[in-house]
Amino acid sequence: MKSSRIINNLTRIGIGLGLLFPLGSLLIDLWIKGLSFSLKNLASLYSSNPLHWIILSAPVVLGGSFYYLAQRIASRENFLLNLAGKEKEQMGLISTYVNELGSGNLTVSLPDNFENKQLLETLHTFRDKLAADREQSEKRQWVNEGLAKFGEILRAHENLDELGYAVVKNLVEYCNLTQGGIFVVAGEDNSYLELKGCYAYQRKKFMQKRIDPGQGLIGQCYLEREKILLYKVPNDYVHITSGLGDANPTCLILLPLKTEDSIEGVIEMAGFRRFEPHELEFLEKVCESTATVFKNVKNAERTKRLLQASQEQAEMMRSQEEEMRQNMEELAATQEEMQRKEQEFIRQIENYKARLGE
């Protein structure tokens, strides 16, 4: 509507300006020749000066020129309006995109018809970086929360059996696995590994198992002090080689419980998914903390046993001392009685000798 109004107005202006040229040329020619303004004189001018016929086309020429100019102006204005509309639309898309990112929606994307491809690539790169940063932050949070959780678990138990079961149970659940077992070094000379806790399919398993160093993967992990991670587990592997029962997992991991100067046991867990790097890092840190606590608990239990043995030995010695004291008292009483009888016997002999002398 506005474009047609511009075209009409400029066309009228062009025609109006075009009319001024023939009218002006006629008036000037009449003035120069000293003629009055009449139809007869105008006809005489047109017949004597063909230039007036050319000038007479000025309204058509200027009207057409102004019409063409008006169309160009209207076209340019429409182009600018469309461009402004598109820019507004694009800015609206960008604003919505940025607001979605700000609200935490990192799956948002701009449509494929977004015209500024360079800006589109930049925004998507920024979105992907935010998503990667969030993922890393969530992984760090998962690790930190897990370490705090197991720190509480390790502090809450002093009994080795209870501690072993609590560790393996919570590790299986926290890492979304199916089963797990924990083997602790046992024997006076650390000659074998003993199953201290077994947890499978959200149930506590009551099992007894003893593994010698080098026996199976558990014994191998104990000797080599390195983690073992398998993703291609034979169907009968768990039943034959490990201490976890009859399940057939697709993933098996064994981690040594080691400190700087000793190894306290092995944790074996199985599941149906692959471990991510941050999960492996978390498991190794938990195993380090568990090994230290196990070592302290075992030392405490050993100290307790030694103290108890020492107390029993001291009690036995006190009992023996008491028995010896009683024996000494009885012996002293016996000696006194013998001395008394000896003195009595001597008196009897002296009395007997005295009677004989009389």
pLDDT for 232 equals 82
**Could you give the domains of the chain?**
2-102 (no CATH), 158-305 (3.30.450.40)
pLDDT for 14 equals 63
pLDDT for 285 equals 92
> What is the per-residue DSSP string for 139-162?
HHHHHHHHHHHHHHHHHH--SHHH
Find the distance separating the first CA and the last CA of the chain, reported in whole Å: 179
Crossing angle of helices 117-156 and 58-102, rounded to 10°: 10
CA distances from 349 to 43, 174, 346 (A): 206, 98, 5
pLDDT for 287 equals 92
Averages of pLDDT over runs of 10 residues in the chain (358 residues) are 64 66 65 70 65 63 68 73 70 72 70 67 76 86 92 85 89 89 82 84 56 87 91 65 57 91 90 90 92 85 78 80 81 79 75 66
pLDDT for 202 equals 47
* pTM higher than the cut 0.95: no
> What is the per-residue DSSP string for 188-224?
TT--EEEEEEEEETTEE-----EE-TTSHHHHHHHHH
pLDDT for 228 equals 92
Distance CA 10, CA 4 (A): 10
Distance CA 171, CA 267 (A): 10
pLDDT for 206 equals 46
pLDDT for 121 equals 74
